[in-house]
Amino acid sequence: MGMESHCIAALCALVTHLLVASFVQSAADSVTFSIANYGLKGTEDEDITKAFSVAWKAACSSTSPSKLIVPKGTYVLRQVVFEGPCKAPLELQVHGTIKAPEDPSDFIEKAGWISFQRIDRFALVGNGTFDGQGSTAWSQNDCHKTGECNKLPINIRFNFITNGLVQDITSLNSKLFHINVLGCNNLTFSRVNIKAPEDSPNTDGIHIGRSKNINITDSVMSTGDDCISMGRGSENIAIERVKCGPGHGISVGSLGRYTKEEPVSGIIVRNCTFFNTDNGVRVKTWMSSEKAIATGLYFQDIAVVNVSNPVVIDQEYCPYNHCKAKKPSQVKLSNISFRNIHGTSSTQMAMKLACSSGVPCENVEISDIDIKYTGSDGDSMSDCTNVSPKIFGKQYPSPCVAANSSS
Ligand SMILES: *[C@@H]1O[C@H](CO)[C@@H](O)[C@H](O)[C@H]1NC(C)=O
Ligand SMILES: *[C@@H]1O[C@H](CO)[C@@H](O)[C@H](O)[C@H]1NC(C)=O
Ligand SMILES: *[C@@H]1O[C@H](CO)[C@@H](O)[C@H](O)[C@H]1NC(C)=O
Ligand SMILES: *[C@@H]1O[C@H](CO)[C@@H](O)[C@H](O)[C@H]1NC(C)=O
Ligand SMILES: *[C@@H]1O[C@H](CO)[C@@H](O)[C@H](O)[C@H]1NC(C)=O
Ligand SMILES: *[C@@H]1O[C@H](CO)[C@@H](O)[C@H](O)[C@H]1NC(C)=O
């Protein structure tokens, strides 16, 4: 090949590059888009709502797999829905910090701040931060008075995502839940960071409902409510190597508040650590509930450090006294195991299994429990009602023995 054809090839490459100025061809059949190429000025706290939305449409309609990049920097993003279906797999890389508007009245109620919706083969990755700027909104949260707890926007909603991955991102100071998972199948959260103050109300880390095959691994969560909660229709969920605290622990529930809730089944919480949390592992169902079932709930290899209520089944859940009547829960719990749970409790009641008198718990196993009370006024205790657990291995405290209790 002569000098001339070299030059022509180089020129062609340059022309091609100019023609596709808004993206670069990275791998053979993967296309990269950056929101920076969609009319941004590059100023600090720039509003990227329009640029991001247009870039999303371009990436989503690419027929080859695409990467969409939010570069380093600090941005403002208004309430937005990133909608599929997309024509090929899409990987969104967030490297910068994206801030929400502070004022809750800038949001349509119940819609979430950022929603990803109806996308197959979607990844959200990068070491970027989604900052919900929740501190002013928290003081407006009147959920404890009204029982209406879903008015403020959730930071990130994943609605009807299939075959997805969320990795490395941080959710900071959400106004309400950090992350909500609805109608998803095969979605993995890995190395996710959740951060909000201990006293921020209803800032659950990840809430899952009506979804299956969801994994949450290697994540660190400190927040004002449950680190992870699994509601109606949570099926085949694996939670491993999550550090929770401060926060309210990892919960199945609350269940039974609504009619015809889909069953919960196949929940594994394994190799997780709780620091200074209100609860460790917990199953909660409403008192005076509707009928529902939860079965196959396995909690194992759990470390608790100064946790108020390390192991809990609470079928008399009735926060702020919002129950219609004091009737037993009708949520049937079965096939539950607590295995190898060790550490310290900041209250004497290390394990409380309070099952429903209407539908007692069935097939509950506790094995290898070693939880010491950190106080000096007695030993740790355990209490069981409407359940006769199968007991194996080491048991400290003695199972189902509460001091001064007749149960
Ligand atoms: C995020 O940071 C981790 C650890 O520094 C690194 O391994 C990973 O590649 C980063 N992710 C991206 C998408 O830059
Ligand atoms: C689950 O999704 C991942 C993509 O994140 C994909 O690689 C994997 O094949 C999917 N698993 C199933 C069973 O479809
Ligand atoms: C999710 O976790 C389960 C249990 O550890 C594992 O069998 C499954 O392969 C994981 N799924 C994905 C997509 O990583
Ligand atoms: C989690 O697993 C690792 C590796 O097997 C182990 O070193 C660690 O002690 C486990 N943590 C808990 C809380 O079981
Ligand atoms: C242990 O937990 C209690 C109650 O949550 C808290 O007041 C105390 O500061 C914690 N102790 C340590 C050493 O963190
Ligand atoms: C509960 O476990 C028993 C015995 O291991 C099993 O036969 C039964 O199918 C399980 N029930 C449910 C609803 O998973």
Residue 326: band (very low, low, confident or very high) from pLDDT cuts 50, 70, 90: confident
**CA torsion angle 354 359 362 366 (round to 10):** 0
Domain ranges of the chain: 1-138+152-208, 249-407
Residue 3 has what pLDDT?
A: 38
* Average pLDDT over the chain, rounded to an integer: 91
Residue 109: band (very low, low, confident or very high) from pLDDT cuts 50, 70, 90: confident
Which protein residues touch ligand 2 with a CB less than 6 Å away?
163-165, 186
CA distances from 52 to 20, 46, 48, 56, 61 (A): 18, 11, 6, 6, 14
Atom 11, ligand 3: which residue's CA is nearest?
A: 215
Q: Which of 34-48, 292-306, 366-380, 393-407 has the lowest mean pLDDT?
A: 393-407
Residue 403: band (very low, low, confident or very high) from pLDDT cuts 50, 70, 90: low
Choosing from 248, 278, 314, 383, the catalytic residue is 248
In ligand 4, which atom is closest to the CA atom of 340? 14
* Cα-to-centroid distance, 189 and ligand 3 (Å): 11
DSSP per-residue codes, 148-193: ----SPPSEEEEEEEEEEEES-EEES-SS-SEEEES-EEEEEES-E
Q: Which of 59-73, 131-145, 348-362, 385-399 has the lowest mean pLDDT?
A: 131-145
Residue 385: band (very low, low, confident or very high) from pLDDT cuts 50, 70, 90: very high
Amino acid identity at 156: I
Triad 269, 273, 276: Cα angle to 5°: 125
Asked if the domains 1-138+152-208 and 249-407 are classified in one and the same CATH topology, the answer is: yes
* Cα-to-centroid distance, 228 and ligand 5 (Å): 21
Ligand nearest to the CA of 279: 5
* CATH number assigned to the domain covering 1-138+152-208: 2.160.20.10
Atom 11, ligand 5: which residue's CA is nearest?
A: 306
* Cα-to-centroid distance, 279 and ligand 5 (Å): 13
Tell me which DSSP letter residue 143 carries. Answer: H
Residue 341 has what pLDDT?
A: 98
Percentage of the chain exceeding pLDDT 70: 91
CB-based contacts of 116, cutoff 8 Å, min separation 6: 82, 84, 122, 124, 156, 157, 158, 159, 161
371 contacts 345 by C-beta, under 8 angstroms: yes
Atom 12, ligand 4: which residue's CA is nearest?
A: 271
Residue 110: band (very low, low, confident or very high) from pLDDT cuts 50, 70, 90: confident
Q: Which of 20-29, 157-166, 305-314, 353-362 has the lowest mean pLDDT?
A: 20-29
Q: What is the pLDDT of residues 1-44, one digit of tens each?
A: 333 444 344 444 444 443 344 444 444 579 999 999 999 999 99
CATH 3.30.930.20 fits 249-407, yes or no: no
For ligand 3, whether the C-beta of 374 sits within 6 Å is no
Q: Is the pLDDT of residue 52 over 90?
A: yes
The pTM (predicted TM-score) of the whole model is 0.91
Q: Is the pLDDT of residue 404 over 90?
A: no
* Cα-to-centroid distance, 168 and ligand 1 (Å): 7
CA distance 340 to 14: 62
